[in-house]
Amino acid sequence: MHAFSMVGYFVSARKALSLTGKGWGKVFLLELSGLSAFCFLLTAKTIATITPRPRGGRVIKEDPHRINDKIRGVAQVRLIGDNVEQGIYPFQQALKIADDLNLDLVEIAPTATPPVCRVVDYQKFLYAQKKKQKEAKANAKKQEIKEIRFGPQTDDHDYNFKLKHAIEFLKEGNKVKSYVFFRGRSIVFKEQGELLLARFANDLAEYGKPDNVPNLEGKRMILNISPKSQK
């Protein structure tokens, strides 16, 4: 069998193919006269020209910024950062300033004219950015839409009860979808529905602002109210 050291397992093609996924190397199917097909599994150690299949599938992410000598095609930059005199510098001079401080030159605004670069420890810069993103995500609250339903002849007690809930919803940063539902022939009270929603928007003026004028959709007259931005 020439000078090759071969693993002498006679296996089915299906089994052989499954073994290739476990780092066994490549499978060669040989047809011999008078014999059925069989496989030799050649290990990567035996034949150096066989490249093993990559394992793990881990993808290495590229840096989100160009840094140091990876900043190319730039004649000059606007330099910012601690312990540096801010201003516009030739690129090579800016790179030297960062190098003398044992720091990195990080391009943070590539589309500016000229591009803006910060002198900073890049790893600490990335850590601070990720920390800010994590905090912002934790503080961000998903806005929900809360529905408030009225009838065209809602009494004051029911109205005030629902108004109180709407105020709480808006304070929490949620939208309020208020509507008057007209059942059967109550559609004749359309004007009462308009007046009720106008009163509702007015009573909530301190906490939210209407997104639309009351409009009739089928049997519902709808008014959406968004919370006012909190200062």
Q: Is the pLDDT of residue 183 over 50?
A: yes
Whole-number percent of the chain with pLDDT over 70: 71
> pLDDT tier at 102 (50, 70, 90 boundaries)?
very high
Cα(28)–Cα(180) distance, rounded to whole angstroms? Answer: 75
**Do 100 and 137 touch, CB atoms closer than 8 A?**
no
> pLDDT tier at 4 (50, 70, 90 boundaries)?
very low
Tens-place pLDDT, residues 43-59: 433 333 434 444 444 44
> pLDDT tier at 140 (50, 70, 90 boundaries)?
low
CATH architecture, domain 145-227: 2-Layer Sandwich (3.30)
Q: Around 40, how many Cα atoms within 13 Å sit in the side-chain half-sphere?
A: 14
Cα-Cα-Cα-Cα dihedral sign, residues 10, 13, 19, 24 = positive
The pLDDT assigned to 76 comes to 95
The pLDDT assigned to 101 comes to 94
In the predicted model, what is the mean pLDDT of residues 5-21?
A: 42
> pLDDT tier at 141 (50, 70, 90 boundaries)?
low
Tens-place pLDDT, residues 111-122: 999 999 999 999
Q: Is the peptide bond before 54 cis (omega within 30 degrees of 0)?
A: no
Cα-Cα-Cα-Cα dihedral sign, residues 118, 121, 123, 126 = negative
Structure tokens of 127? 């850590």
Cα(56)–Cα(94) distance, rounded to whole angstroms? Answer: 40
Q: Is the pLDDT of residue 224 over 50?
A: yes
Q: Where in the chain is the domain with CATH 3.10.20.80?
A: 68-138
Cα(27)–Cα(39) distance, rounded to whole angstroms? Answer: 7
DSSP tag of 67: B
Mean pLDDT taken over the chain: 77
Q: Is the pLDDT of residue 71 over 90?
A: yes
The domain 68-138 belongs to what CATH superfamily? Translation initiation factor 3 (IF-3), N-terminal domain (3.10.20.80)
The pLDDT assigned to 1 comes to 44
Q: Where in the chain is the domain with CATH 3.30.110.10?
A: 145-227
